[in-house]
Amino acid sequence: MTFADVLQNPLYKDRDVLYALVPPTGLLHRTEQKNELIMELAPILMNSAVNCVFLYGNPGTGKTAVVTELLSELESEAKKRTLKIKRVYVNCSENRTETTILIDALSQINPAKSYPRVGWTRSKAVNEFNDVLADEKSHIIMILDEVDYALRESGDDILYRLSRITPRGESRLSTILISNDMRVVDFIKPKTASTVSRVKIIFSPYTAEELQDILADRAKYAFNKDAVSNQVIEKIAEIEAGRGGDARKALELLDSCAKIALSQNKPKISLDVVDQADSNLEKDTVLHTLTTLTKHQKLLYLAILLSNKDEFNGGEVYQHYVEVCAKNNVEPLSVRRVRTFLVDFSELGLIESEVTWLRNLNKKSRAIKIVMDTATRKKARKLLRDIL
């Protein structure tokens, strides 16, 4: 196969459309959520701050895309009213502490100044944030995406801080919180909950019918005519609807099908490649997920992979984890902390986990099962060793 072979195959028209956050025709099947968010953000155009609007929903249900689309509309409307708006976007899966969140925000609000990624105390970051806001003459809209990561790792101090800030002068601060975890409220203390907004906008998983519409709409722009059949779109939609209604994964699967069709020199995507593409993506997803884990989560998962067993209880996992930490000269975390990591692994699909009663020990314990083929397990072990 050569590059010329790929370029001669008239399959793609504009592949980027598959991965665009907002498609050419706008987002489908999110009218209710859009309307709710418009009502909550409208006071910004009256120069009033909006405090901690929460958007909840599984990954791939359109939360970030809806916010992006509506903020573009809001900024356009603000220009007509000579209202200066500055958008700040912080991904909390990468910035999990109050200090790093504020530093990331500062680097966007005040790009003329260079802010260090490490070395600052929380109090220094907070004081700098307050000083910069005092000098601002605009309405700052701060989006904390995947905020559940920060709340699990570091607590809710950042939310309490943002809800209590009253900028001086002409500046205003509004906050939008996006969470992939519906149980995120469990990580918010009553004191903080009483100060943040009670507005919660729920993004339910897409149904198979909705995913079909989304895939068909993107396919019109991404592929040449007749490159994708309705049967392929229906099958992909059914697969992903059964797994949680994630539109991103459905579009990734469609793209993977197209790449297989290209490799086989097919002029269109046939139904038989869907299962093959799905299997390939499943392996890639696991490896990518491992790179996003924290250091101790990586050590814990490596400990699980290094075990010769496919099934074990929570106590055994912790012992393996302690041993791996010792080999890497790292102080292990508590049993309680590791237990929360195992729950996270289960939600990410890295393990199968359930609490069971151990008769021989006469107590409850978490039963851990890893379902992974030998080749992927070997790749995962090597990947973790390389990045630790």
**Residue-wise pLDDT tens digits, 321-334:** 999 998 888 999 99
Residues 184 and 233 in one domain: no
Calculate the average pLDDT of the chain. Answer: 88
Domain stop point among 243, 261, 286: 286
Residue 24 falls inside a structural domain: no
pLDDT given at position 359: 55
pLDDT band at 361 (very low <50, low <70, confident <90, very high): low
Residue 254 CA: distances (Å) to CA of 55, 120, 126, 209, 223: 27, 44, 45, 16, 11
Higher-scoring residue by pLDDT: 21, 307: 21
CATH of the domain at 303: 1.10.10.10
* Chosen domain end from 286, 313, 344: 286
Same domain for 46 and 12? no
> Mean pLDDT: which of 68-77, 119-128, 343-352 is highest?
68-77
- How confident is the model at residue 363, as a pLDDT? 58
Number of compact structural domains in the chain: 3
Are 177 and 52 in the same domain?
yes
Q: Lowest-pLDDT range, 51-60, 104-113, 301-310, 358-367?
A: 358-367
Give every CB contact of residue 13 below 8 A, 6+ residues apart in sequence. 221, 222, 223, 224
Are residues 271 and 252 part of one domain? yes
C-alpha–C-alpha distance, residues 270 and 262, integer Å: 11
SS3 319: helix
Distance of alpha carbon 190 from alpha carbon 252, whole angstroms: 40
pLDDT at 355: 63
Return contacts of 80-85, CB within 8 angstroms, 24+ apart: 81/45, 83/45, 83/47, 83/139, 84/137, 84/138, 84/139, 85/44, 85/138, 85/139, 85/141
Answer with the residue of higher pLDDT: 59 or 166: 59
As a whole number, mean pLDDT of residues 64-79 equals: 96
**Averaged pLDDT for residues 119-137:** 90
- Domain enclosing residue 102, as ranges: 31-203
Residue type, 374: T
CA separation for the pair 205, 238 (Å, rounded): 13
Is 354 or 384 the better-scoring residue by pLDDT? Answer: 384
* Residue 120 pLDDT > 70: yes
Buried b (16+ CB within 10 A) or exposed e, 187-208: bbeeebeeebeebebebebbeb
- Tell me the mean pLDDT in the region 240-254: 93
> Residue 149 pLDDT more than 90?
no
CATH number at residue 70: 3.40.50.300
Kindly state whether residue 237 falls inside one of the protein's structural domains.
yes
Residues 184 and 236 in one domain: no
Q: For residue range 158-215, what is the model confidence (pLDDT) as tens digits?
A: 888 888 777 677 789 999 999 988 777 778 888 888 777 677 899 999 999 999 999 9
* Contact call for residues 138 and 86 (beta carbons, < 8 A): yes
**Quick one: average pLDDT of 55-74?**
94
Classify residue 301: in a domain, yes or no: yes
Task: Tell me the C-alpha distance between 92 and 110, whole Å.
Answer: 19
Q: Residues near 97 by Cβ (< 8 Å), separated by ≥ 6?
A: 122, 150, 153, 154
Structural Rg of the chain based on CA atoms: 24
- Does one domain contain both 148 and 58? yes
- Predicted confidence (pLDDT) at residue 139 exceeds the cutoff of 90: yes
> Do the beta carbons of residue 332 and residue 323 sit within 8 Å?
no
Round to whole Å and give the CA distance between 219 and 70.
Answer: 24
Percent of the chain with pLDDT over 90: 51
What percentage of the chain exceeds 70 in pLDDT? Answer: 95
Judge contact between 187 and 152, C-beta under 8 A: yes
Closest among 182, 102, 115 to 142, alpha carbons compared: 102
Which of 143-152, 211-220, 263-272, 377-386 is most confident?
211-220
Residues 186, 329, single domain; the answer is no
Confidence of residue 255 (pLDDT cuts 50, 70, 90): very high
My answer on whether 84 and 171 are in the same domain is: yes
The pLDDT value given to residue 152: 81
* Same domain assignment for residues 345 and 378: yes
pLDDT band, residue 375 (cuts 50/70/90): confident
Instruction: Judge whether 8 lies within some domain.
Output: yes
Residues 117 and 253 in one domain: no
- Residues 178, 63 contacting (CB under 8 angstroms): yes
Instruction: Please tell me whether residues 246 and 346 are part of one structural domain.
Output: no
**Structural element, H or E, at residue 9:** none
Q: Is residue 45 part of a domain?
A: yes
pLDDT for 160: 84
Domain end among 234, 257, 286: 286
Q: Is residue 79 part of a domain?
A: yes
CB 297 within 8 A of CB 341: yes
